[in-house]
Structure 1
Amino acid sequence: MPSGRTRLLDAATELLAAQPSHEPSTRELYEAAGVAAPTLYHHFGTKEGLLDAVVERAFADYLQRKHGMLRTGDLVTDFCAGWDLHVEFGVANPTLYALMYSPGRVSAAAATADTHLRAALERMRDAGLLRVDVDTAAAMTTGMAIGCVTQLNRQHRPVDNPAALATRAALIEQLTGQSSASTSPDQAARALLRELPEVAARFTSAESALLTQWLRAIAEEERAAAPPKGSRP
């Protein structure tokens, strides 16, 4: 049978997954784990200690995924992929992300993220790609990432929302002077199709239908142009 510590961690993870925007109470946590309150205090000291441990575990899983990402050899493209995965983690885990970057809270997960970010920026600096120093670049990246995730969560938007993509592009341009070209036309078209109902009132029905037709054509054309997996050139 799992230990009380493991049961508390699993229960907290399940509660946060079921209601990602709700921070569970101390009572909800120990009752969901099937243990008494003293067990929680013994292993974690406080509810915050338990939630910090959940953040650490979730972020460790995130880092495993990040380490498994394909490295293209293009440092800017890889940096964009890291940004996307960071935003994905924050949108998928809004409460954990808020705890991770809560003002006045010392989060080991946030410190680990900062270390990995600085390593990526130092590689870009050494390759002559950065237009600003590493400290400034790290502060810009972290601030824009937190702001982006917070806004997406506040408005319940997906990770590929056009505003999020524009934020990433603006960051890359400020850091390197390059445009962010990691978003393909079909990705952009699909993102715009998802947002079209929100702005449909700005168009006539004929205009909306035509725009939808164009966007679908772009998305389908890009997919059709892609070679089948496993095919040889």
Structure 2
Amino acid sequence: MESGRSRLIEATRSMLTEQPGRVPSTRELYEAAGVAAPTLYHHFGDKDGLLQAVAEEAFAEYLERKRTVPRTGDLLADFAAGWDMHVGFGVENPALYALMYGRAGHRRSRVARTAEAELRRGLERLADAGLLRMDVDEAVALTTAMAIGCVTRLLYDGGSATGPLAETMCTALMSELTGHAQELGPADHAAALLLARLGSTPGLFTTAEEALLRQWLRTLIEHVTPAQDAREQGAER
């Protein structure tokens, strides 16, 4: 038999999904769950505690889904895939997403902190590969703000998680984080891939050799594309 706690969580999720943008009253919640008020107070303390529990459950589902996203070894592509997953989850679960990143989510539950820690680790991998051009704290804040803003706008417009707006915002974020967009030219894409994978085979280079190679690859990423663009523009004249 389903416990009173489970029934309250399920009823709250259902009501939030059926009436997005509206938070039901305490009475509506325990009546929808078919329990008495003391059951809600016993398990959650108050309505905010119940909403927090629903947010925690949503974050747990989010993490489970995020961990199924395959890693390719290409740090830039993997980060972009994480963005796609986040936006897709938000668009598919608008009520839960609003709860996760709204008032209830501000209590910083354990699973919410875990979700942010996983984002931080992804950004730290970019930083360790020499691909991040700001500090990790700033990158976490920027990525979170742009992701929430993107999902919020898509929900407002009824847009698609794979549509032009989501793709444009992902490209803008990658450009701001790394200095170049996700869509790279052949030369700088190859350089970025090699830079991202340096260190994956311990002992291949000495510390000094790896540092020098990193410096050369960063120079290629920063300068090859502008030079190619200039040549292409000259050819068009």
**CA deviation string 1:127-175 (max 9, x = no partner):** 1111111111111111111111111122222212311210110000111
Given the alignment of the two structures, is residue 18 of structure 1 paired with residue 8 of structure 2, yes or no? no
Distance 1:164 1:146 in 2: 11
Deviation at 1:177, TM superposition (A): 2.2
In structure 2, stretches of 5+ residues that fail to align are: 185-237
Distance 1:46 1:103 in 2: 14
Distance 1:49 1:171 in 2: 34
In structure 1, stretches of 5+ residues that fail to align are: 183-233
Name the residue aligned to 1:154: 156
Structure (1 or 2) with the larger CA radius of gyration: 2
* 1:19-168 → structure 2 map (5 Å cutoff): 19-102=19-102, 105-108=106-109, 109-168=111-170
User: Counterpart of 1:88 in 2: which secondary structure?
Assistant: helix
Deviation at 1:60, TM superposition (A): 0.7
Q: Match for 2:155: what amino acid?
A: N
Check conservation: 1:121, 1:134, Cα contact below 8 A. Answer: yes
Check conservation: 1:9, 1:53, Cα contact below 8 A. Answer: yes
Deviation at 1:29, TM superposition (A): 1.3
Question: In 2 relative to 1, CA 21–85 (structure 1 residues): closer, same or farther, beyond 3 Å?
Answer: farther
Distance 2:54 2:135 in 1: 34
**CA deviation string 1:12-33 (max 9, x = no partner):** 1222333344332222211111
Distance 1:143 1:103 in 2: 15
User: Counterpart of 2:12 in 1: which secondary structure?
Assistant: helix
Distance 1:145 1:127 in 2: 23
Q: Tell me whether 37-46 or 24-33 shows the greater mean CA deviation.
A: 24-33
Name the residue aligned to 1:207: none
Distance 1:157 1:136 in 2: 28
Tell me the TM-score normalised to structure 2 length: 0.71
Deviation at 1:181, TM superposition (A): 3.6
Question: In 2 relative to 1, CA 51–44 (structure 1 residues): closer, same or farther, beyond 3 Å?
Answer: same
Distance 1:18 1:7 in 2: 16
Check conservation: 1:16, 1:24, Cα contact below 8 A. Answer: yes
Check conservation: 2:59, 2:100, Cα contact below 8 A. Answer: no
Q: Match for 2:15: what amino acid?
A: L
Deviation at 1:54, TM superposition (A): 0.9
Check conservation: 1:117, 1:138, Cα contact below 8 A. Answer: yes
Name the residue aligned to 1:226: none
Distance 2:130 2:94 in 1: 35
Distance 2:52 2:174 in 1: 31
Q: Match for 2:18: what amino acid?
A: A
Deviation at 1:103, TM superposition (A): 5.6
Instruction: Name the count of aligned residue pairs.
Output: 182
Check conservation: 1:20, 1:93, Cα contact below 8 A. Answer: no
Q: CA RMSD in A?
A: 1.9
Check conservation: 2:91, 2:161, Cα contact below 8 A. Answer: yes
